Structure 1
Amino acid sequence: MSIRAVAGLPGCSRLFARGPLGWKFSTRLRWSSSSARQWSTPLAKNIAEAISATGPISIAAYMRQCLTSSDGGYYTSHTDGKDQFGQKGDFITSPEISQIFGELLGIWLLAEWIAQGKFSSGVEIMEVGPGRGTLMDDMLRTISNFKPLASSIEAVYLVEASPALRDAQKQLLCGDASFKKIDIGFKSTSKYSRLPIVWCEDIRFVPNDATKTPFIFAHEFFDALPIHAFQSVPPNPNEASQILDSPTGSIPLSKPTSQSKQPQWRELVVSPTPPPLKITTSTSSTTATAKSTPDFQLSLSKASNPNSLLLPTLSQRYKALLPTPGSVIEISPESHSYAADFARRIGGSSPTPTAKSSPSTEQPAPESTTKSTPSGAALILDYGPAHTIPTSTLRGIRSHRPVSPFTDPGLVDISADVDFMALAEAALAASPGIEVHGPVEQGFWLESMGIRERGEMLCQALDKTGGDGVEEAKKRVRGAIERLVERGGGSMGRIYKALAIVPERGGKRPVGFGGGMD
Structure 2
Amino acid sequence: MTTPERAPPTGLETRLARMIAECGPISIDAFMAQALYDPQAGYYATRQPLGSHGDFTTSPEISQIFGELIGLWVAQSWLDLGSPSPFHLIELGPGRGTLMADMLRVCQRVPGFMAAVHLHLVETNPALKEAQRNALGVMPAHWHDTLDGVPDGDSFIVANEFLDCLPVRQFVRGEQGWHEKLVGLDVAQRLTFGLGPPMPEPPGCAQPDDSVGAVREVAPGLPTLVETIAKRLRTASGRALIIDYGDGSGQAGDSFQALFRHQKIHALDHVGEADLTAHVDFAALISLARACGLGTSGPATQRQFLQSLGIETRRDALIHANPHCESDLTRSVERLIGEAHMGGLFHVVALESPLNAAAGPPIGL
User: What is residue 516 of structure 1 aligned with on the other side?
Assistant: none
Q: Within 1, Cα distance between the matches of 2:107 and 2:305?
A: 19
Deviates more, 1:324-333 or 1:61-70: 324-333
Contact residue 339 and residue 424 of structure 1 kept, 8 A = no
1:385–1:113 Cα change, 3 Å = same
1:481 and 2:333 matched: yes
- The one-letter amino acid paired with 1:158 is L
- The one-letter amino acid paired with 2:144 is C
1:87–1:228 Cα change, 3 Å = same
1:225-254: CA deviation from partner (whole Å, max 9, x where unpaired): 10001123455xxxxxxxxxxxxxxxxxxx
Contact residue 159 and residue 242 of structure 2 kept, 8 A = yes
Counterpart pick for 2:55 among 90, 112, 119: 90
User: What is residue 93 of structure 2 aligned with on the other side?
Assistant: 129
- The one-letter amino acid paired with 2:296 is V
User: What is residue 273 of structure 1 aligned with on the other side?
Assistant: 186
Q: Within 2, Cα distance between the matches of 1:323 and 1:455?
A: 44
Q: Within 1, Cα distance between the matches of 2:38 and 2:162?
A: 17
Q: Within 2, Cα distance between the matches of 1:106 and 1:461?
A: 21
1:495 and 2:357 matched: no
- The one-letter amino acid paired with 2:317 is M
- The one-letter amino acid paired with 2:274 is V
User: What is residue 290 of structure 2 aligned with on the other side?
Assistant: 428
User: What is residue 12 of structure 2 aligned with on the other side?
Assistant: 43
Displacement of 1:93 in angstroms is: 0.9
User: What is residue 224 of structure 2 aligned with on the other side?
Assistant: 337
Contact residue 56 and residue 261 of structure 2 kept, 8 A = yes
- Aligned positions, number: 361
Contact residue 319 and residue 326 of structure 2 kept, 8 A = yes
**Map of 1:202-281 to 2, 5 A cutoff?**
202-207=146-151, 209=152, 212-235=153-176, 263=177, 265-275=178-188
Q: Within 2, Cα distance between the matches of 1:381 and 1:499?
A: 7
Q: Secondary structure at the match of 2:12?
A: helix
Displacement of 1:90 in angstroms is: 1.5
User: What is residue 405 of structure 1 aligned with on the other side?
Assistant: 267
Q: Secondary structure at the match of 1:411?
A: coil
Displacement of 1:376 in angstroms is: 0.6
1:12-54: CA deviation from partner (whole Å, max 9, x where unpaired): xxxx8489xxxxxxxxxxxxxxxxxx95210001111111222
Counterpart pick for 1:146 among 107, 110, 113: 110
1:68 and 2:37 matched: yes
Displacement of 1:328 in angstroms is: 1.9
Q: Within 1, Cα distance between the matches of 2:161 and 2:252?
A: 16
**Map of 1:102-117 to 2, 5 A cutoff?**
102-117=67-82
Contact residue 232 and residue 322 of structure 1 kept, 8 A = no
1:149–1:390 Cα change, 3 Å = farther
Displacement of 1:123 in angstroms is: 0.9
Displacement of 1:219 in angstroms is: 0.5
Contact residue 80 and residue 359 of structure 2 kept, 8 A = no
- The one-letter amino acid paired with 1:41 is T
- The one-letter amino acid paired with 1:143 is C
User: What is residue 297 of structure 1 aligned with on the other side?
Assistant: 192
1:163-221: CA deviation from partner (whole Å, max 9, x where unpaired): 121121122213xxxxxxxxxxxxxxxx24xxx311111222223x2xx1110011011
1:387–1:508 Cα change, 3 Å = farther
Structure 2 gaps of 5+ residues are none
Displacement of 1:94 in angstroms is: 0.6
Q: Within 1, Cα distance between the matches of 2:212 and 2:260?
A: 34
Q: Secondary structure at the match of 2:247?
A: coil
Q: Secondary structure at the match of 2:73?
A: helix
TM-score with structure 1 setting the length: 0.66
Contact residue 441 and residue 498 of structure 1 kept, 8 A = yes
Q: Within 1, Cα distance between the matches of 2:244 and 2:119?
A: 22
Q: Within 2, Cα distance between the matches of 1:170 and 1:66?
A: 26
Q: Within 1, Cα distance between the matches of 2:360 and 2:110?
A: 25
User: What is residue 302 of structure 2 aligned with on the other side?
Assistant: 442
Contact residue 206 and residue 216 of structure 2 kept, 8 A = no
1:31-84: CA deviation from partner (whole Å, max 9, x where unpaired): xxxxxxx95210001111111222111111111111111121112123xxxx42
User: What is residue 167 of structure 1 aligned with on the other side?
Assistant: 130
Contact residue 214 and residue 252 of structure 2 kept, 8 A = no
Q: Within 2, Cα distance between the matches of 1:473 and 1:159?
A: 34
User: What is residue 320 of structure 1 aligned with on the other side?
Assistant: 207
**Same amino acid, percent of matched pairs:** 34
Q: Within 2, Cα distance between the matches of 1:392 and 1:218?
A: 23
**Map of 1:22-41 to 2, 5 A cutoff?**
40-41=9-10
Q: Secondary structure at the match of 2:280?
A: coil
Q: Within 2, Cα distance between the matches of 1:216 and 1:511?
A: 15
Q: Within 2, Cα distance between the matches of 1:39 and 1:105?
A: 41
1:344–1:512 Cα change, 3 Å = same
Q: Within 2, Cα distance between the matches of 1:503 and 1:299?
A: 43
Q: Within 2, Cα distance between the matches of 1:203 and 1:377?
A: 14
Q: Within 1, Cα distance between the matches of 2:79 and 2:335?
A: 30
CA RMSD of aligned residues (A): 2.3
1:218–1:390 Cα change, 3 Å = farther
Structure 1 gaps of 5+ residues are 1-15, 20-37, 175-190, 236-262, 277-294, 349-370, 463-470, 514-518
Q: Within 2, Cα distance between the matches of 1:323 and 1:197?
A: 48
1:461 and 2:321 matched: yes
Q: Secondary structure at the match of 1:75?
A: helix
1:215–1:309 Cα change, 3 Å = farther
